[in-house]
């Protein structure tokens, strides 16, 4: 594939497929299932091999759609991320939630994340220990977190007993560069951890940025592709834009296989 990054010992595409809203938001929505499955399959056919989902998305229906979409593909060719919601934190609760996600997906989970920090570090610790046991059981392959700042990420690393935290999924875009300004990005780079960027297009607003579009025209690219390329320019950053239509998938894939010059990357920062 054009652009590959590393999660654990696996190589994944620098652009993945985000599924927030696919299959519903906080409750299931079955009205667009056929279209959603077709979009996910189209992304895999284009060579994108990473799909990000969660038990919270559509109350689990997003995971069901992902499971349906990957059936025609070799399992080893797809990297699936899912997440446990804070209400299911705790040693036994997290194990139960993971098993439910595996049932909905119809397969094991490559990377399982704590979706949000929740309100208790003690529960975070017990959940991480549960995930280590799930690795041993073969239900998940890697452990990660989501929406953890630098301090909480470091504390979480310290309580791991057998395995490492390999990824942290956070909001990150050319407009919202807090991982850069807080030291999180540099720390994760040094530690060999993947930073997975969600909402990388700021809910579509960056796609309409004329300044980014002007930079993109020099490369034959769109504003969205410039915004995504800004992120994956970093060696350990993977972006997971939401894609609800095939056209979105194609445009997102086109953010790979090239790089902004350092000069244009600096100019892009001033566009937002």
Q: Which residues are catalytic?
A: 57
- Distance separating alpha carbons of residues 91 and 15, to the nearest angstrom: 32
Our measurement of the distance from residue 219's CA atom to the centroid of its chain's CA atoms, rounded to an integer in Å, reads 26
Please check whether residue 194 is in contact with residue 234, taking contact to mean a CB–CB distance below 8 angstroms. Answer: no
With a CB cutoff of 8 Å and minimum separation 6, the contacts of 34 are: none
- Distance separating alpha carbons of residues 179 and 257, to the nearest angstrom: 24
Provide the Cα torsion 91, 95, 96, 99; round to 10°.
180
């Amino acid at each position: 594939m054009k652009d590959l990054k590393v999660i654990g010992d696996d190589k994944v595409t620098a652009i993945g497929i985000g599924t927030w809203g696919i299959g519903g938001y906080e409750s299931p929505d079955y009205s667009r299932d056929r279209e959603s499955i077709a979009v996910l399959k189209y992304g895999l056919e284009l060579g994108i091999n990473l799909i990000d989902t969660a038990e919270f998305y559509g109350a689990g229906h997003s995971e069901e759609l992902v499971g349906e979409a990957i059936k025609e593909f070799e399992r080893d060719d797809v990297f699936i991320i899912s997440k446990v919601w804070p209400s299911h934190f705790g040693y036994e609760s997290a194990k139960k939630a993971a098993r439910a996600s595996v049932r909905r997906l119809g397969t094991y989970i490559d990377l399982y994340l704590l979706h949000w920090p929740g309100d208790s570090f003690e529960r975070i610790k017990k959940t991480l220990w549960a995930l280590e046991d799930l690795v041993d059981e073969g239900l998940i392959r890697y452990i990660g977190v989501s929406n953890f700042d630098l301090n909480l990420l470091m504390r979480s690393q310290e309580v791991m007993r057998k395995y490492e935290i390999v990824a942290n999924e956070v909001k990150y875009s050319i407009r919202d560069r807090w991982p850069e300004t807080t030291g999180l990005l540099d720390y994760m780079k040094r530690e060999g951890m993947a930073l997975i960027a969600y909402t990388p297009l700021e809910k579509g607003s960056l796609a309409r940025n004329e300044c980014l579009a002007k930079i993109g025209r020099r490369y034959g690219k769109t504003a969205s592709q410039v915004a995504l390329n800004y992120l994956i320019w970093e060696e350990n950053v993977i972006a997971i834009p939401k894609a609800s239509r095939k056209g979105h998938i194609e445009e997102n894939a086109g953010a790979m296989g090239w790089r902004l010059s350092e000069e244009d990357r600096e100019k892009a920062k001033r566009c937002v």
